[in-house]
Amino acid sequence: MTKNQSPGLLPKSFLFAIVALFLFILSLYPLRWWPLNWIAWGLLITVVLDRSLSWKQYIGAIYCLALGLFVYIGWRIYDYEPSLCILSIGAAIFIFLGTLILLRWLTLKSTDTSQALIILPCAWIIIHTLLEYLPLATITTDILFDSPLVMMQSASLAGIKLYHAAFLGFLTSVVLLIKNEKNKEAKTALAIYISILVLLASYGGSRLHSASKAVNGPQTALIQHNLTPDVLWRIHNNDSIVQTYIEWAKKAKTQNAELIIYPQYDIGKDTFRSPDLIAGMAEQINSYMIFSSYIAASANADNDDFKNMAFLYGPDGKRLSIYESIEPFPFRRHPPIASKTYRLMQSPWGFIGMHVCYENALARIVRKSVQMGAQVHIDLANPGFFNQTVIPQYHLLQDKLRAIETGQYVYRVTTNGNTGVIDGRGRIEQLTQLNEAKMIMTHMQLMPSSTLYMKVPFLLPILAACMIIFQFARRQPKPASGVGII
- What pLDDT sits at residue 140? 80
Contact 415, 384 (CB under 8 A): yes
- What pLDDT sits at residue 7? 47
Give CA–CA dist 238/234, Å, rounded: 6
| Domain coordinates in residue numbering, the chain | 12-209+457-473, 215-446
| Contacts of residue 57, Cβ cutoff 8 Å, sequence gap at least 6 | 2, 4, 11, 13, 14
- What pLDDT sits at residue 17? 93
How many residues are given for the chain?
A: 486
Please state, in angstroms and as integers, the Cα–Cα distance from residue 57 to each residue in 5, 143, 231, 270, 482, following that order: 11, 26, 46, 55, 17
| Contacts of residue 29, Cβ cutoff 8 Å, sequence gap at least 6 | 390, 393, 394
Contact 413, 225 (CB under 8 A): no
Q: Residue 336 carries which DSSP code?
A: P
Instruction: For the domain covering 215-446, report its CATH number.
Output: 3.60.110.10
| Contacts of residue 94, Cβ cutoff 8 Å, sequence gap at least 6 | none
Expressed in angstroms, the distance from the first to the final Cα of the chain is 18
- What pLDDT sits at residue 208? 96
- What pLDDT sits at residue 414? 95
CA 52 to chain centre: 35
Of 396, 388, 443, nearest in space to 418 by CA: 396
Give CA–CA dist 37/252, Å, rounded: 43
Of 318, 261, 259, 252, nearest in space to 292 by CA: 261
DSSP E strand boundaries for 38-178: none
pTM of the model: 0.92
- What pLDDT sits at residue 77? 75
Report the relative pairing of strands 410-414 and 376-381 from DSSP bridges.
parallel
Chunked mean pLDDT (size 10), the chain, 486 residues: 49 90 90 91 94 91 92 77 82 91 87 82 94 82 89 96 96 92 91 97 95 87 94 87 95 96 91 90 95 86 78 96 89 80 95 94 94 97 84 89 97 95 96 96 95 96 94 64 45
304 residue type, one letter: D
456 residue type, one letter: V
- What pLDDT sits at residue 256? 95
Angle, in degrees to the nearest 10, between helices 12-27 and 36-49: 150
- What pLDDT sits at residue 191? 97
